[in-house]
Amino acid sequence: MRTIQLGSSGLQVPVVGVGCMRIQTLSPAEAERFVQAALELGANFFDHADIYGGGACEEMFAEAVHMSPSVRETLLLQSKVGIRAGMYDFSKEHILSAVEGCLTRLKTEYLDVLLLHRPDALVEPEEVAEAFNILESTGKVRLFGVSNHKPMQIALLKKFVRQPLHVNQLQLSIAHAALISNGLHVNTSEDAALDRDGSVLDYCRLHDITIQPWSPFQHGFFGGVFVNNPDFPELNACLNQLAEKYKVSSTTIALAWLLRHPARMQPIVGTMNPARLKECAQASEITLSRQEWYSIYRAAGNTLP
């Protein structure tokens, strides 16, 4: 699979990451087959979080991949911390203890990437900096980033944290494209011009932060997938037409739409189906034309000023 550089780190990662939030829905045998299929595709970047399955997803992944030092060398592991029952917690104590839990469950001595999961309104960036320094100096985390953060929240962290923030994981898809739409509707009074995210797309490009789109096939906040959804007839007609042209699936085209954006994103796909994961991987081989990209954008109901 084609690779990209993660942030400014120099680390080359597959252009499609494998999200493991649903791995707990598989049987142990199914999980093993899925992980092996991903590795055979070159999709060796696995995204986790300590809250996925209450930690069970990390445990199941470690079992499925038969974690050992030699296996670990072939993997790129990312996990996220900071969400607790009914609250968010970026305290030094919680970050450190949460990472220890991730390492134990994943049966590894280090994470390649650690993300702060969702913004904590009570964040004290000095504590985050202390936690990051400990995790880096002890070799438990190699690279750092955030998830669902706005530019000013990232800037606040960067004032105190000396490690570069290489990743921002954000919800983005054809049918959930406000990050893109507000940049197209500049200086208009249309609803699409509303900037709810502080121009985070442009900010990340300016600061060499890799955007990892999550739920790249969803509409709304876990509203369901739009591919082959009868509620999106025009979009699916467009996807199917291009799928026929490129001799791939509509899933492949939908992901290729994200990869065509010059921000050099790394979508995190959540499928647990090896065949569908293969369709996702094929998106790395397709470069949509500018006309095709905009036709998909408009077919999803997105407008141009």
Active site residue 88: no
Q: Put residue 7 in one of left, alpha, beta given phi > 0 → left and psi -120 to 50 → alpha.
A: left
Q: How does 204-219 read in b/e, with b if 16+ C-beta sit within 10 Å?
A: bbebebbbbbbbbbbb
Beta strand pairing call for 76-81 and 83-84: unpaired
Catalytic residue (one of 52, 110, 203, 294): 52
Burial class of residue 85, CB neighbours in 10 A (0-12, 13-18, 19+): exposed
Residue 178 contacts residue 185 (beta carbons within 8 Å): no
Report, in angstroms and rounded to the nearest whole number, the Rg of the chain calculated over CA atoms.
19
- Rounded Cα gap, residues 30 and 185, in angstroms: 45
Cα distances from 183 to residues 155, 177, 193, 213, 255, in angstroms, run 20, 10, 7, 17, 21
Query: Would you please indicate which residues are annotated as catalytic (active-site) residues?
Result: 52
